[in-house]
Amino acid sequence: MENPLLQPSSLPFGAPRFDLIRPEHWKPAFEAAIAAGKAEVDAIAANPAAPDFANTVEALEFAGAALDRVSGLFFNLLEAESDDAMQQLAEEISPLLTDYELYISLNETLFSRIRTVYDGRDALQLAPDQRKLLEESYKGFTRSGALLSPEDKKTYASLEEELALLELKYGKNVLDATNAFSLEITDEAELEGLPQYVRDAAAQAAREKGRSGWRFDLSHPCYVPFLQFSARADLREKMWRAFNARALGGPYDNSGNCLKITQLRQRIAQLLGYADWAAYELEERMAKTIGAVRRLLDELMAPSLPAARREVGALLAWAQKQGYAQEQMLPWDFPYWSERYRAEHYALSDEQLKPFFRLEDCIAAVFGLATRLYGVQFVERKDLPVYHPDVRVYDVQDADGRHLALFYADFFPRPGKRSGAWMTNFRELALRGGVEERPLVSIVTNFTKPTADAPSLLTHDELTTLLHEFGHALHGMLAEGRYPSLTGTNVARDFVELPSQLMENWGFEPEWLHTFARHWQTGEPIPDALVERLVAARNYHAAYFQVRQLRFGLLDLAWHTLRKEIPDQVGDDVVAIEAQALAGCAVLPDIPGSCISTSFHHIFDGGYSAGYYSYKWAEVLEADAFSLFQERGIFDRATAASFRENILSKGGSEDEALLYRRFRGHEPDPQALLKKLEII
């Protein structure tokens, strides 16, 4: 039987054959693709011709195309449509991939050719993207052990293999721990405070499990509204404790994995000549140094922490007047009282807003916004196969009809799909042998599913999530260039969130909201007064949420800088390490038995190690960037064209700081974010 993973797709635009892929295809496909990739690498290394940019650097960039294709499908499905067999397969495949990566990075003959080209780079008259590819290729080798001794190369290889397996195990534990919990309610009185849409979704979840009553789990569209609306403090506490103790102890404990992962990263960094993992990672970021990151976090934390404490203090005082009996605001009570306060003081609640944000309308509006800004069109292709019935696929076309990308959208939660929302590519943009391969872009979310009585209705937060992930998608879809590693979202980690966070701003612009927000039952447009209250409430508890993000950034740095600021007596107690890292910046009380680190996907298996600060770094960029749209008009095509030309289309083909200055005309200023959030 032919393996569809190893055959060129006969479908339009090279769309993946999700309809033909079977579980038994994966491992043979990986083995064959790895063998082909190694053969291509061997041919480059053994080329008798003198090394030059084309026969060495460019050739290596395009080597392993089959493996890129198989990996791009497998690891995305591992996140969105997984099961125990896929997880087991990932553990089997991971060592094979690590071996392949090391086969390249520790290949002395290949590196010698790269080094020869790199040493003569000033005489080569390379285009900016070619020079960047050469520099990144050389650094890729040196950062992967090419300059190590033979003995140290063996050590490096074993550490990398162990790390890859541990990261997989960490992610599997979080998924399993999340799926292991459910709160099942059979007494309707215990649903007090929950809006009808939350009850309907929970009833449907129970029916899908063959149960009566209502079933609540730890997925985002279930967990968040439960804490916001449930009038039962005891049940809120139960949900909160379950969520915040995921993979802490028990059969899916990640405590040891947190320690082992960071210790392995530390050993790898020092082996390569860096002080710690943060120094290693930041070399490839806009920030460049730990000092620059700490300055940013400190500059934002200094005014934000006291402001956040004032916000929580004011909320506590108000809640106590409403009968709240606690002397301090407990973390499972904060969302509930925050929602009640917002509803009273701003006459605004998610329940009021949701009827105006039907998912279908929001999708059309987001597509329409891209059309208005960039001229692109989205044509649904129901003839192309998808990996789950919920998934939709669109042909993305430029204003002149040129095909730009296939866009896959996967909106609803299900077992085997991790929580949260993300954008990814099944295939990167590439120009292979003069033939352009446009990208295959995907966004994955966990929005509330339609029920028998109502369509999928978004909270406003979910609308901004859709805008956020779509901003990433635009970065991929509007990419131009020739080298996969330098196009689309392949940019510095602290730059990649700029397009996504920029898009969120339109979610608060009345001029855009009024173009689509209509009540799903009556068709009435969203009232002006409701939009005004939404805008007025935009910065509600902004300082609190800013501090929350800054704390995540501090915790990340603590894990990846040898825990330099943590006393030795803390030892290897993960909870104690976390408490020490976050000492002095608490806004709500710390609760025994809870832990962030054991389920902190972003930094332990999600690619954001020593990089969580980048959300705030990018927020500074977007606050400054959006001010230009505000000055010229939020639909100004000239400003959008400049953003597309200088940011979205360029990927990582040039230095990100240069790209930003080219668009904005000056360096970004952290004060722009503090002003936007009305903290100063």
Strand partners, 184: 215
Q: Is the pLDDT of residue 208 over 50?
A: yes
Q: How confident is the model at residue 672 (pLDDT cuts 50, 70, 90)?
A: confident
CA 120, CA 447: separation in Å to the nearest integer? Answer: 53
Q: Is the pLDDT of residue 227 over 80?
A: yes
Give the pLDDT score at 570.
54
Query: Strand, helix or coil at 679?
Result: coil
b/e map 581-606, b = 16+ CB within 10 Å = bbeebebbeeeeebbbbbbbbbbbbb
- Which residue, among 28, 29, 23, 35, has the nearest Cα to 78 in the 3D structure? 23
Please give the average per-residue pLDDT across 548-575, as a whole number. 80
CA 396, CA 480: separation in Å to the nearest integer? Answer: 14
For residue 436, the tally of other CB atoms under 10 A from its CB is: 12
Q: Is the pLDDT of residue 274 over 80?
A: yes
Hey, what amino acid is at 603? I
CA 375, CA 648: separation in Å to the nearest integer? Answer: 14
Q: How many CA atoms lie within 13 A of 607 on its CB side?
A: 11
- 350-385 pLDDT, tens digit each: 889 999 999 999 999 999 999 999 999 999 999 999
Q: What is the DSSP string of 422-454?
A: EEEEEE--EEETTEEE--EEEEE--PPPP-SS-
In which region does residue 13 sit, left (phi positive, over 0), alpha (psi from -120 to 50) or beta (all else)? left
CA 602, CA 279: separation in Å to the nearest integer? Answer: 18
How many residues make up the chain in this entry? 680
CA Rg, the chain, in Å? Answer: 25
- 411-463 pLDDT, tens digit each: 999 988 988 899 999 999 999 989 999 999 999 999 989 988 899 999 999 99
> pTM, whole model, 2 decimals?
0.84
Domain regions of the chain by residue span: 12-105+107-143, 181-245, 251-346+542-612, 355-536+615-676
- Which residue, among 111, 165, 109, 167, has the nearest Cα to 140 in the 3D structure? 111
428 noted as active-site residue: no
CA 477, CA 367: separation in Å to the nearest integer? Answer: 13
Q: Is the pLDDT of residue 348 over 70?
A: yes
Give the pLDDT score at 418.
86
- Which residue, among 51, 54, 61, 70, has the nearest Cα to 3 in the 3D structure? 70
In SS3 terms, 277-304 reads as: HHHHHHCCCCCCCHHHHHHHHHHHHHHH
Q: Is the pLDDT of residue 257 over 70?
A: yes
The contacts of residue 174 (CB under 8 Å, 6+ apart) are 246, 247, 252, 254, 418, 598, 599, 601
- Which residue, among 97, 15, 107, has the nearest Cα to 64 in the 3D structure? 97
Both tokens assigned to 414: 């299900």
Both tokens assigned to 275: 């002080």
Q: How confident is the model at residue 81 (pLDDT cuts 50, 70, 90)?
A: very high
Query: Strand, helix or coil at 66?
Result: helix
Residue 564: C-alpha distances to residues 561, 568, 597 (Å):
6, 9, 17
The contacts of residue 5 (CB under 8 Å, 6+ apart) are 21, 25, 26, 29, 33, 69, 70, 73
- 301-322 pLDDT, tens digit each: 999 999 999 999 999 999 999 9
b/e map 466-482, b = 16+ CB within 10 Å = bbbbbbbbbbbbbbbbb
Strand partners, 396: 378, 405
- Which residue is it, tokens 């990308």? 405
Give the pLDDT score at 350.
85
Fold entry, domain 251-346+542-612: Neurolysin; domain 3 (1.10.1370)
Helix (H) or strand (E) holding 404: strand 403-410
Give the pLDDT score at 569.
47
- 562-590 pLDDT, tens digit each: 655 555 545 689 999 999 999 999 999 99
3-state helix, strand, coil in the chain (%, to 5): 60, 5, 35
Give the pLDDT score at 1.
56
Catalytic residue among 469, 578, 622, 656: 469
- CATH 1.20.1050.40 matches 12-105+107-143: yes
Q: Is the pLDDT of residue 42 over 50?
A: yes
CA 245, CA 589: separation in Å to the nearest integer? Answer: 15
Strand 403-410 with 440-444, pairing:
parallel
Q: Among 1.10.150.120, 1.10.287.110, 3.40.50.1820, 1.10.1370.40, what is the CATH number of 355-536+615-676?
A: 1.10.1370.40
- 376-406 pLDDT, tens digit each: 999 999 999 999 999 999 999 999 999 999 9
Are 340 and 322 contacting, i.e. CB atoms less than 8 angstroms apart?
yes
Are 502 and 620 contacting, i.e. CB atoms less than 8 angstroms apart?
no
**The domains spanning 251-346+542-612 and 355-536+615-676 adopt the same CATH topology:** yes
- 644-667 pLDDT, tens digit each: 999 999 999 999 999 999 999 998
Higher-confidence residue: 467 or 8?
A: 467
Sign of CA dihedral 131, 137, 139, 140: positive
The mean predicted confidence, pLDDT, of the chain is 95
CA 76, CA 603: separation in Å to the nearest integer? Answer: 18
- 107-125 pLDDT, tens digit each: 999 999 999 999 999 999 9
Helix (H) or strand (E) holding 408: strand 403-410
User: How far, rounded to the nearest angstrom, does the alpha carbon of residue 119 sit from its chain's CA centroid?
Assistant: 36
- Which residue, among 527, 623, 572, has the nearest Cα to 262 in the 3D structure? 572
Q: Residue 525 carries which DSSP code? A: B
Please give the average per-residue pLDDT across 511-531, as a whole number. 97
Sign of CA dihedral 241, 204, 411, 74: positive
Q: Residue 507 carries which DSSP code? A: G
Q: Is the pLDDT of residue 251 over 50?
A: yes
- Which residue, among 222, 224, 229, 644, has the nearest Cα to 448 in the 3D structure? 222
The contacts of residue 186 (CB under 8 Å, 6+ apart) are 212, 213, 214
Q: How confident is the model at residue 606 (pLDDT cuts 50, 70, 90)?
A: confident
CA 458, CA 35: separation in Å to the nearest integer? Answer: 46
- Which residue, among 614, 604, 612, has the nearest Cα to 262 in the 3D structure? 604
Both tokens assigned to 343: 């509803």
Give the pLDDT score at 607.
87
